[in-house]
Structure 1
Amino acid sequence: MSGCGGNGHSHDHCGGGGGHEHTPPDLGVAYSLFTRIDTNNIECLNEAVEGSGKTVFKAWEDRMDRDKFVESDADEELLFNIPFTDNIKLKGIIVIGGENGYHPNKMRLYKNREHMTFDDVSLAADQEFELHPDPSGTLEYTTKVVTFSSVTHLTIHFPSNFGEDTTKISYIGFRGEYTKAHRHGVTICNYESAPQLSDHKDKAMDSVGRPVM
C-alpha cells in the first residue's frame, strides 16, 4: 500500500484502476456534488438497515462522522443507484469504508443505467477501480471525464472487501461540476412540428383566405 495514503499531495497512480491521491485546493467546494443528488430516490441494495445507504452521502466536513454508515446484509456486496437533479461532470470519487477487512476493495461504476440490480452487474462497467483502505478520506479515484461528462444517474457496485463477511461504508464523495438540467419537452415539440409547417402551408392559407362553411 506504499504510496497510497501518504501526505495527500502525491499524484502517483494508486493501483491499476487509475486512483490518484489528490488534494484539491478547496475540498469543501470540490466535494459539494452531494447537494446535486436526488437523495430521496437513492436505492441501496443489500443494505442491512433500510435507508442507511443514503446517509453516506454527506458534506465534506462531515466525512469523518462514522455514526452514519451502511453495512451490507446477506454478503459483502453493496449496490447504489444514485440519481442526480442536474447534469454532472464527474471527476473523482472518495470512499471511506469500515476498518480493516470491512472496507471495500473494488468499485465498479455504471453511467446512466437506472434501477440496476445484482442481476445487471455482469454487464461491463464503464470504469473499475481497485480500492485501498482510506480511513482519513484522502485517496481520490479519478474518473474518465470523457465517459462521465454528462451523468444524470450513477450506479456504484462494491462486489467485495478485504476479507470480512460484510462491507461497511461511511462516506462516498463526488468531485466535479454540474450544469442545470433542462426540460426538453417544448424543444422536442418544436422540432417535430417544424417539418410539418410546409406540409400544411397551403391548407393554412386556404383556411385564412376562405371562410369556413
Structure 2
Amino acid sequence: MSVINISSNEQFNNILTSSRFVVADFYADWCGPCKAIAPVYDSLASQLTRPNHITFTKINGDQQTELAQAYSVRAYPTFIVFENGRKKQTVAGADPRQLNEVIQKLASEATKSDGAAGDADSGAGSSWLGATVAKGYSDITDQVDAKGLELLNRDNERGEPRVLFDGGKPSGLSGKGKGKAEGKSDWVESDTDEQLMLYIPFQSTVKVHSVHITSFAASGEDNEDEDDDEVPMRPKTVSLYSNRSHVLGFDEADDIPAVQTVEIKPEDWDAKTGTARVDLRFVKFQNVTSLVLFFVDGDGDSEKLRVDRVRIIGDAGEKRAMGKLEKIGDEPGE
C-alpha cells in the first residue's frame, strides 16, 4: 500500500528523517470530509510515492494526539507537506483541486531536486552538515538572524561572524591551511586570549536540540612561522545562555549562571569533518529567541581558539496550543 498509517511518534519521526519529502494526512474517523477526499489522496499517493524520496502518510488525530498538537492541527482534514523534516506547506480542508495542485507541485520540485543532486557539493545554496542530525529534528540554522550576530574578542584579520553559519563546506575540509580569500578566512579565531563570546539571535521562536561545532585547528606546518601560543585550538568548554537581549560581556557571563555548560572531549570530534555534536538538555531550550555561546577555553595551551562552523539543530517555529478540533466542511451538529 502506498500510504503509510502512522501508529507512533517514533515511526513518523523516522519517516521524516529517511524521506526527503513527506505528506501527512491528519484525519478522524468521524470526519465526513476526510472520508470524501480519501480516494483522491490515495490516488495521488499511488502515482507519486517514491521510496525514501516522497512518502505519503495518514495520521488519525484522535489516536495520535501528540503529533496533532505538535503540528498545530486545529481541524480535519489537514494535509501537511514536509521537506527534510521541516514543515513546508499546509492544506486545510477537503479541497481536491488545491490538494492536487500542491502535491503535483511537490512532485515537480522533487524531480528538479534529483537533477540538481549532483551539484550539491559545488557550493552556493547547499547546506553542509558535519554531524548526524537527531531523529525528529532538522537543521534550523536558516532561522539565524545574521544581521544581529555579535562575536566578542575575534581576530579582525580572520572571518566575520556570519561565516560561521555559511551553508557551504568549510575550506578546512580540503586541507587548505589558512584558507584566506582576499585577506579573509572562512572561519573565526580569538584575539587577545582563547575566549570567544557569540550572540545568536533567531528570526522566530525555536526549540534547540543540539549544536554542531566545527573546528579545524591549524597544524604546526600551517603555522610554522608562528609561536606555539599562536597555533589555534579547538573549543573545549562551552557555556550556553538563552533568551538574552544582547551579547554578554565576559565579566557579565561570570556572574550569570549558564543554562548549560558542556565539555567537548577529544573523542567527540569527527576526524573527517572536524565537527563535534553537542546535545543539549532539550527541556531547557524550548521557546528560544536567542542563544549565547561562550567558548570558555580550548583543548591546549594556546591563546588562540578557532571555530569554522556552527549549525543549530532543533525545531523552528512556535507551537500553538491545541485548540478545539473542527470538521472543515461539516456544519456543527452533523
- Other structure's SS at 2:284 match: coil
Provide the aligned C-alpha RMSD in A.
2.6
**2:264 maps to 1:128:** no
- Name the counterpart of 1:45: 152
Is the Cα–Cα contact under 8 Å of residues 214 and 276 in structure 2 kept in the other structure? no
Is the Cα–Cα contact under 8 Å of residues 77 and 159 in structure 1 kept in the other structure? yes
- Name the counterpart of 2:216: 98
State the Cα deviation string for residues 24-80 of structure 1 (Å, max 9, x = none). Answer: 389xx822x221011011000001117612211122xx2433341000011000000
TM-score by length of 2: 0.43
Compute the displacement of 1:164 (Å): 1.2
Is the Cα–Cα contact under 8 Å of residues 207 and 288 in structure 2 kept in the other structure? yes
Cα separation, 2, equivalents of 1:165 and 1:81: 21
- Name the counterpart of 2:238: 107
Is the Cα–Cα contact under 8 Å of residues 141 and 313 in structure 2 kept in the other structure? no
- Name the counterpart of 2:68: none
1:25/1:58 CA distance change after superposition, 3 Å = same
Cα separation, 1, equivalents of 2:263 and 2:308: 18
What does 1:5-84 align with in structure 2 at a 5 Å threshold? 23-24=132-133, 30-31=138-139, 33-49=140-156, 52-59=160-167, 62-66=168-172, 67=179, 68-84=186-202
For structure 1, the 5+ residue unaligned runs are 1-21, 183-213
Compute the displacement of 1:113 (Å): 1.4
Compute the displacement of 1:23 (Å): 2.6
1:178/1:25 CA distance change after superposition, 3 Å = closer
Compute the displacement of 1:138 (Å): 4.9
In the alignment of these two chains, the number of paired residues is: 157
1:48/1:35 CA distance change after superposition, 3 Å = same
Q: Hey, which of these two has a bigger chunk of helix by percent?
A: 2
Give the aligned residue type for 2:306. K
Compute the displacement of 1:139 (Å): 3.2
- Name the counterpart of 1:8: none
Compute the displacement of 1:137 (Å): 4.5
Compute the displacement of 1:120 (Å): 1.4
Give the aligned residue type for 2:215. G
- Other structure's SS at 1:129 match: strand
Identity, % of aligned positions:
26
- Other structure's SS at 2:235 match: coil
Give the aligned residue type for 2:203. T
Is the Cα–Cα contact under 8 Å of residues 287 and 318 in structure 2 kept in the other structure? no
Is the Cα–Cα contact under 8 Å of residues 44 and 54 in structure 1 kept in the other structure? no
Is the Cα–Cα contact under 8 Å of residues 63 and 137 in structure 1 kept in the other structure? no
Match of 1:142 among 261, 264, 279: 279
Give the aligned residue type for 1:131. I
